[in-house]
Amino acid sequence: MILLGTLSELRVRNETLFLFGLVCILAGFLFLLASRLSGITLDGVSAWHKPFKFALSIGIYSWTMAWFCAYLPAFNVRAFSIFTVAALGFEIVYIALQAARGQRSHFNTGTPLYAALYSLMAIAATAVTVYTAYIGFLFFDSTISGLPHHYLLAIRWGIFIFVIFSFEGFVMGGRMSHTIGGDDGNHGIPILNWSRKFGDPRVAHFVGMHALQLLPFLAYYVVKNSTAIHIIAILYLLLALFTLVQALNGRPFFLIR
């Protein structure tokens, strides 16, 4: 009942991002099913794992921002929603199409077309991140009222850490690889495929970006103290930084060694 009530409220707040997020999440589970039924592989794992991860992540991001943007009194939510659907919709469609063809979407510059589409994905992801950073800036506006201070702090921290580790994706883009110390495609943990032998910046990317959900969730339901939110956010940031340092030194995250 709580979940249904939350989804109903989410739809009221932003129907565009609610529906887009729902489509992405449903598509994600279809991609996961395809990974069990299809024999198409890339780098030794199912080609459908990547679209599954991206669809689920984009869906959760869309729902999160739909919830947050409703708090902003003077923000063009419609423009942001349309931009998000266009930019991230393009990304997930391209990733899925490439998976169906048994071709890489990321780090694929094998033809001028692939190189151009990969660059467009990078531009789309960067633009969404910059837009999110701008929204984070708006949460410092004194005209925002009615939000408990600890919850407001958690939203600010969540967006701040999200933006940092979204841009951390350039670590992988610059290397044209998501493995440090070895080749892509080495045996990793199930579905996420994070390397168990070498450094993998995707761990820090995942941990950091999902501060966007975790910190506000904790503040909304569990930790209702501003000082505690600051401490938790700093510790979480340090954890994300630690996983990045581990990866850059060619070492796998210790929890999955």
Tens digits of residue pLDDT in 59-93? 999 999 999 999 998 899 999 999 999 999 999 99
Angle between the 112-138 and 149-167 helix axes, to the nearest 10 degrees? Answer: 160
Tell me how crowded residue 80 is: count the other CB atoms within 10 A of its CB.
22
pLDDT average, residue stretch 143-170? 93
pLDDT, greater one: 255 or 110: 110
pLDDT at 85: 98
Q: Tell whether the model's pLDDT for residue 34 goes beyond 90.
A: yes
Does 256 have pLDDT greater than 60?
no
Under DSSP, the state recorded for 45 is: E
* pTM metric for this prediction: 0.94
Residue-wise pLDDT for 161-201, tens only, equals 999 999 999 989 988 888 888 878 767 888 888 988 899 99
Dist. CA 181–CA 35, nearest whole Å: 27
> What pLDDT is stored for residue 15 in this prediction?
96
In the chain, pLDDT over 90 holds for what percent of residues?
78
Inter-residue contact 95 to 117 (CB < 8 Å): no
Q: Return the pLDDT at 87.
A: 98
Q: Is the pLDDT of residue 111 over 70?
A: yes
7, 14, 36 from 165: Cα distances, Å: 27, 26, 30
CA 181, CA 235: separation in Å to the nearest integer?
27
